[in-house]
Amino acid sequence: MSGAVRGRVALVAGLLGALAVVSLLSIAFGALSVPPGQVVRTLLGDAPDARVDDVIWSSRVPRTALGLSVGVALGLAGALLQALTRNPLADPGILGISAGAAFGVVLAAGVLGLATLTGRIWFALAGALVAGVTVYLLGRLGASGLTPVKLALAGVAVTALLSSLTSGIVLTDPDALNRYRFWAAGSLAGQNGDGLTRVLPFLALGALLALACAPALNSLALGEDVATSLGRRVGLVRAQGVVAVTLLTGGSVALIGPVVFVGLVVPHLARVLAQRAGIGPDHRWLLPISAALAPCLLLLADVAGRLVARPVEIQAGVLVAFVGGPFFVALVRRQRLTEV
C-alpha cells in the first residue's frame, strides 16, 4: 500500500472515529450524565435503566441527529461558498445568508402567522437566496471588482440591516421576542425528531448538489477561462452552487437558528488535513472532509455548553462564535488587502 493510500485510509478512519466519539459524548453528557458503557448498551437495546432509556431515545438521540445533520449542512455550505467565490473569508453567516434565512423565518412567523416549520422553511430559503445574491452584487461594486474583504464587508452590512429589521419585528411581540432570543443563539436544545424529518429532504438535496459540484470546483479553482476551456459551464456551476448553499443554509437556520463561523473554520481545517494526507486541494475530498468535521465542532460546542455552566446551558452557537471570531480576525489580517 502506497503512502498516499495509507494517508487517505488513515484520514477516513480518523474522521469516522471522531464522529463516533463525539456522537457518544453528545448522547452521554447533559443534565443527567450517563456512563458511555451504559449508553452503548442502551443503543443496542439492553437498557439497564428505564429512565436512562427514555432520556437517551426521547432527547439525546434526536438532539445528536440534529447536530450531525446541521453540522454536515453548514460544513458543506462553507466549503462550497469558499470554492465558488475563491474567497477564504466566505461563510453563510459572514456573507449574510444566515441573516437572510433568519429574517425570512421571523417574517413568516411574526407577520404572516405561519406557526409550522413546513411553512417557515420556504421563507428561510427565499431569505437566504435574496441575501446571498445581494451581498454578491454589492461586493462586485467598485473599480477593483470582487475582493475577499469587500465581500465580507458587504456581508456584514447586509447582516446588520437584516438583523435590525428582524429585531423590529420581534420587539412588537414580547412572547415572540423571548422565543427569538433562544432560537437566534443557535441551539440544539428543545428540538425533536419531527422538525428534522421535515427539513431533512431540503438538506439532503442541498448536500447532493454540493457534492456534485466538486469536480467542476477543481476546474474553477484554476480560473474561469481555464474552467471554460475544459468544458465546464461556469454559469451553471455557480447556479447549482447557489441553490445548494440556499438549501443547506436555509434548512439549518429554520431548524436551530443562525450559527455563524462553522462554515468558515471547518474548510480551513479540512485543507490542512487533506494536505497532510497527501490529497491536496481536491474538492472531491475537501467537501466530504468538511461535512465530517463540521458536526464534530458543532456537537463538541453543544456538549461543552451543557457542562461549563451547569445547571444553566450555554447555546452551541455562542461557543462556536468564541472560536470563530478570533479565527476570522486572523484570516482578515493574513489577507493583506488594502483595497476595500
pLDDT tens, position by position, for the chain (340 residues)?
Answer: 566 678 888 898 999 999 999 999 999 998 788 888 888 888 888 777 788 888 888 889 999 999 999 999 999 999 999 998 888 878 898 889 999 999 998 888 877 777 677 778 899 999 999 998 898 888 878 766 666 677 878 888 999 999 888 888 888 776 666 667 777 778 888 766 788 898 999 999 999 999 999 999 988 888 778 888 878 888 888 889 999 999 999 999 989 888 888 998 999 999 999 888 888 888 999 999 999 999 999 999 999 988 887 777 888 888 888 877 787 777 767 655 444 4
End-to-end CA distance of the chain: 49
Residue-range domains of the chain with CATH: 68-335 (1.10.3470.10)
State the DSSP string of 135-191: HHHHHT-STT---HHHHHHHHHHHHHHHHHHHHHHHTT-HHHHHHHHHHHT---TT-
pLDDT of residue 340: 42
Grid cell digits, residue 250: 436555509
Residue 33 DSSP SS3? coil
Q: If you ran DSSP here, which 8-state letter would residue 211 be given?
A: H
Instruction: Give the whole-angstrom CA distance, residue 129 versus residue 56.
Output: 37
Helices 3-28/61-85 angle, 10° precision: 140
Whole-model pTM: value is: 0.90
Instruction: Give the whole-angstrom CA distance, residue 169 versus residue 277.
Output: 49
Instruction: Give the whole-angstrom CA distance, residue 182 versus residue 291.
Output: 26
Residue type (1 letter), 89: L
Residue type (1 letter), 172: T
* Cα 245 versus chain centre, distance: 10
pLDDT of residue 130: 93
* Cα 334 versus chain centre, distance: 23
Half-sphere exposure of 171 (CA within 13 A, CB side): 6
Instruction: Give the whole-angstrom CA distance, residue 76 versus residue 1.
Output: 30
